[in-house]
């Protein structure tokens, strides 16, 4: 591995994989621009990591569904990095809403479908477009997108979330082709089950979320951050196209080994 990159921008850094990635990059000496809607959380994390690791970090408000919010976030990132430019963009902001089967879906479910496409696909495109031009001009940079095992395999109740993550993989691949020869790298990270706030957001309650991971050992946000850091710290001539990582207890989207609870 080479040294940690200079400035790393992470979307959705207020929780889960994004926050864990911020922690790991900071420990390796990277400077950070952290974005999320819960700006209090990203500001507190930026302050904490600056104090702990002697790096520079800012937390800024970011809603990837809102163009004005993205423009303000990009401006604050540009002011923060100055001429050095952004070394790595981690497109991590994302979510799933519900597990409705299409024949039984309601209008409420349909609003969730729209939100998933808007955040996971359009949000990623909006943010990427605004950062990648500077990377091309500098002849260096790295766009790391959070796909999912759900972008590789599908399952009942997952049509729309899986479609968004399959789209992330397709967008990643097209971007890689479009950036060939520029020196800018592109990677897609595809985790299986990771215990974060993801399942609470998707299912609505902590109790339902806990059932997703019952009797098995899921990945943590820190586990996924290790994979992200690894891809970001390789030599300039080496591009990791995709990383698929799963818990040892998970062999496919729906094939999960669960141990019986001890009496
Ligand atoms: N957990 C898993 O099993 C798993 C598996 C594979 C892939 N992934 C992917 O990994 C990524 C991170 O998920 P996670 O597991 O860490 O979930 P999480 O703990 O729920 O974190 C999701 C992050 O996305 C942010 N976000 C959501 N909507 C946003 C918006 N409109 N604008 C800006 N930020 C937004 C949230 O911040 P705010 O709410 O503060 O805005 C939060 O920081 C997602 O793309 C997810 O699809 C997760």
pLDDT tens-digit series, residues 30-44: 999 999 999 999 999
pLDDT of the residue at 83: 87
Whole-prediction pTM: 0.98
Q: What is the distance in A from the centroid of ligand 1 to the CA of 101?
A: 22
Strand order in the sheet with 57-61: 57-61, 31-36, 7-11, 86-91, 141-146, 184-191, 242-245
Structural domains in the chain plus CATH codes: 7-245 (3.40.50.720)
pLDDT tens-digit series, residues 130-185: 999 999 999 999 999 999 999 999 999 999 999 999 999 999 999 999 999 999 99
The CA distance from 233 to 228, in Å, is 9
The parts of the chain modelled with pLDDT lower than 50 are: none
In this structure, are residues 89 and 119 in contact, taking their beta carbons and an 8 Å threshold? Answer: no
Q: What is the distance in A from the centroid of ligand 1 to the CA of 38?
A: 12
Q: Which atom of ligand 1 is nearest to the CA of 63?
A: 32
User: Phi/psi of residue 195, each to 5°?
Assistant: -85, 105
Q: Which among 53, 54, 10 is positioned nearest to 229, based on CA atoms? A: 10
pLDDT of the residue at 56: 97
Of 198, 245, 253, the residue with max ligand 1 atoms within 8 A of its CB, to mutate for a pocket test, comes to 198
**155 among known catalytic residues:** no
CA distances in angstroms from 181 to 21, 48, 184, 211, 237, listed in the order given: 28, 38, 8, 46, 11
C-alpha distance across the termini of the chain, in Å? 46
Residue with tokens 């963009």: 89
Query: Considering 113, 131, 161, 213, which one is annotated as catalytic?
Result: 161
Q: Which atom of ligand 1 is nearest to the CA of 168?
A: 45
β-partners of residue 143 are: 89, 186
> Which residue's CA is the closest to the ligand 1 atom numbered 4?
194
Give how far the C-alpha of residue 194 lies from the chain's centroid of Cα atoms, to the nearest Å: 12
Which structure tokens are listed for 213? 């991971």
pLDDT of the residue at 2: 60
CA distances in angstroms from 6 to 65, 86, 262, listed in the order given: 27, 7, 48
Q: Which atom of ligand 1 is nearest to the CA of 193?
A: 3
Pocket of ligand 1 (CB under 6 A): 11-18, 36-38, 62-65, 92-95, 119, 146, 148, 191, 193-194, 196-198, 201, 221
């Amino acid at each position: 591995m080479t040294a940690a990159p200079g400035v790393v921008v992470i979307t959705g850094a207020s929780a889960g994989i994004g926050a864990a990635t911020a922690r790991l990059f900071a420990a390796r000496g990277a400077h950070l621009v952290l974005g999320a809607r819960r700006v209090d959380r990203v500001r507190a994390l930026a302050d904490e990591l600056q104090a702990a690791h002697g790096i520079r970090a800012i937390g800024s408000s970011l809603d990837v569904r809102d163009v004005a919010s993205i423009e303000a976030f990009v401006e604050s990132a540009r002011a923060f990095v100055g001429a050095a430019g952004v070394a790595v963009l981690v497109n991590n902001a994302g979510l799933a809403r519900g597990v409705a089967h299409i024949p039984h879906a309601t209008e409420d479910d349909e609003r969730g479908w729209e939100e998933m496409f808007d955040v996971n696909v359009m949000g990623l495109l909006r943010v990427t477009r605004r950062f990648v031009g500077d990377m091309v001009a500098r002849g260096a940079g790295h766009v790391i997108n959070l796909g999912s095992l759900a972008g590789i395999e599908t399952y009942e109740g997952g049509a729309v979330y899986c479609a968004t993550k399959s789209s992330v993989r397709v967008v990643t691949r097209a971007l890689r082709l479009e950036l060939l020869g520029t020196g800018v790298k592109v990677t897609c990270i595809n985790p299986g089950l990771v215990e974060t706030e993801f399942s609470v957001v998707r299912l609505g309650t902590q109790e339902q979320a806990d059932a997703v991971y019952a009797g098995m050992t899921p990945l943590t946000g820190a586990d996924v951050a290790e994979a992200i850091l690894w891809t970001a710290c390789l030599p300039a001539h080496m591009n990791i196209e995709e990383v698929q990582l799963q818990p040892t207890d998970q062999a496919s989207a729906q094939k999960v080994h669960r141990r019986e609870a001890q009496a």
